[in-house]
A and B are shown apart, each in its own frame.
Chain A
């Protein structure tokens, strides 16, 4: 149980285009999901907290107009990188917060490798 999927696993796009990444909790409902970014040989950096039915909360320094987050249902959150540029190339990881049954644990997806040409 407690599986989180991400789609796509990797994507290559041209500079200036937008890319949507999906994060799904497959066997549980998650009112809260998180989006992280991981640079090579560096730690995961929290980008934003996504709450179902409300606006996402962005961390300092993260442009909310560039990284659009939509948490439209209890099992799906999407991250759209708008007008992508090469510096947006990174590994994006989502997680879903388990409820009391999960001890308040975050369950992580496998990540999406974005390459912007």
Chain B
């Protein structure tokens, strides 16, 4: 299994500012994903981050709002830009192991963001 860490674990931010969330994996993985979980809701895929190429965004999410970096096979960042209270959510990164196609997808512990 993959061990995933995220920083920060939580933050409280002011409207109009930006926050960068880091995701570190203990092994090399092909694909990394970023999800959002709004309060009391299910998870929604924001984008897929592949090393060496631009992230692929799901409908309703744009690069200007959620820029993503993927500099290597073990690390990715998600920035939440120009935040508003509606961005208050838990942001989770997830990985798809390259070691076994039959393996599950693993989730990081999440970053709980509150925007005032």
Pairing of A with B: no
The chain B residues found within 8 Å of chain A, CB to CB, are none
The chain A residues found within 8 Å of chain B, CB to CB, are none
